[in-house]
Amino acid sequence: MGSANLNSFYGKVENPYDVDRIAGGSSGGSAASVASNMCDFSIGTDTGGSVRLPASYCNVYGFKPTYGRISRWGVIPYAQTLDTVGILANNVGTIRKVYHALNVYDDKDPTSLPDDTRSEIKETDTTGSLTFGFPVEFLIEELSSEVRQTWTKVISELLRLGHEVRPISIPLLKKALPVYYTLATAEAASNLSRYDGIRYGLNSDKEVESPNDLIVANRSKNFGSEVQRRIILGNYTLSSDSGDHYLKATQIREEICNQFSFWFKNPHVLLSEDTSENAVDLIIAPTSTGVAPKYEDYVSADTENFLSSYVNDVLTVPASLAGLPTISIPINGVGIQLMGQFGDDNLVLNTAETIGKIENIS
């Protein structure tokens, strides 16, 4: 767990795009394998940005499909209401081929979208000009000048190509980060409770006086500090001492889904919310607040305050909470996200391929 990929059992993951910088996490290994041309594509899991953030840092494409599109059967769960199998590659064409092979219903996965729901999804026609929205809530102080300039250049090129770009407002984006960490850590604590070294996971073989002591020894030794931190936070969230934080977070998440859906022209297959008169086809935003930080800078900031690393997810978490298809497009070390309506995955992929071919962005 974590957004730097420094917590792997095998040590830190090196970023082939810039070896002095972190690869991003938690699917940084997947991104690094693509960036170093070890493979044509790689699979990762995106809970709150774990495919898109390392894709941005390693300068490759990282696609998070609509929640439920690709089966999670066989994936060790982190947060089951958020986890989405994603695809990383150096081009959209490869991602599209892999996505179409994996985009099928699986009765082994209870969160897999059934065929009747898939058939009801209306996909946007990509033959004409499109309307893009950029959330004003993403214009945060933490955005680096490099990210701001790249975002602006992409928008300028879209306008030059005859598309329309307009500001939109999703007020609850400001609450997305605390909502995400409330839900994700609670679900992680529940999901990882089975890894006691007896039923699942490694056994420390430590001599102890009771089964309870053995479980404590196994979990203390075999879970890293970041995983332990999130389990503790999640168990607190699920305890009576925390009040109804999980319920409140779930309610706000539902409102975030509705606010996103309000801005899309294409109707949501599972919701019946009204659509804005100024609705858009796609939402465009940065993937990260900056380029990949250097190892020493990241470690120093994390040592001073471990919460600083959680802020890296501020731009990727919202799409995860809403289950939206999203791709990070690499533009000279800066990732630009495209988000589509729930189920509108092909529109996201086709448009990302168009943006990736724009020559004037530098």
- pLDDT category at 261 given cuts 50, 70, 90 is very high
Rounded to an integer, the average pLDDT of 201-211 is 82
pLDDT surpassing 90 at residue 285: yes
The percentage of residues in the chain with a pLDDT greater than 70, rounded to a whole number, is 98
- pLDDT category at 307 given cuts 50, 70, 90 is low
How many residues are given for the chain?
362
pLDDT surpassing 90 at residue 226: no
- Report helix, strand or coil for 275: coil
Looking at per-residue pLDDT, the higher value among 327 and 302 belongs to 327
CB 321 within 8 A of CB 179: yes
CB 335 within 8 A of CB 353: no
CA gap 168, 260 in Å, rounded: 10
**pLDDT score for 345:** 97
Rounded to an integer, the average pLDDT of 158-166 is 95
| Segment among 114-118, 204-208, 214-218 with least mean pLDDT | 204-208
pLDDT surpassing 70 at residue 308: no
pLDDT surpassing 80 at residue 305: no
Rounded to an integer, the average pLDDT of 233-257 is 90
CB 123 within 8 A of CB 344: yes
Residues 106-122: tens digit of each pLDDT: 999 999 999 999 999 99
**pLDDT score for 302:** 78
Round to the nearest angstrom and report the end-to-end CA distance of the chain. 33
CA gap 31, 47 in Å, rounded: 15
Token look-up 């910088």 returns 21
Looking at per-residue pLDDT, the higher value among 345 and 4 belongs to 345
- pLDDT category at 240 given cuts 50, 70, 90 is confident
**pLDDT score for 359:** 64
The two beta strands, 282-286 and 131-135, are: parallel
Token look-up 């680096």 returns 144
Q: What is the rounded average pLDDT for all residues in the chain?
A: 92
pTM of the model: 0.94
Provide CB contacts within 8 A for 254, sequence distance 6+.
none
All structural domains of the chain, each given as residue ranges with its CATH number in brackets, are 28-170+279-356 (3.90.1300.10)
The percentage of residues in the chain with a pLDDT greater than 90, rounded to a whole number, is 71
CB 341 within 8 A of CB 268: yes
Residues 77-107: tens digit of each pLDDT: 899 999 999 999 999 999 999 999 999 999 9
Helix axes of 245-262 and 225-238: crossing angle, nearest 10 degrees = 100
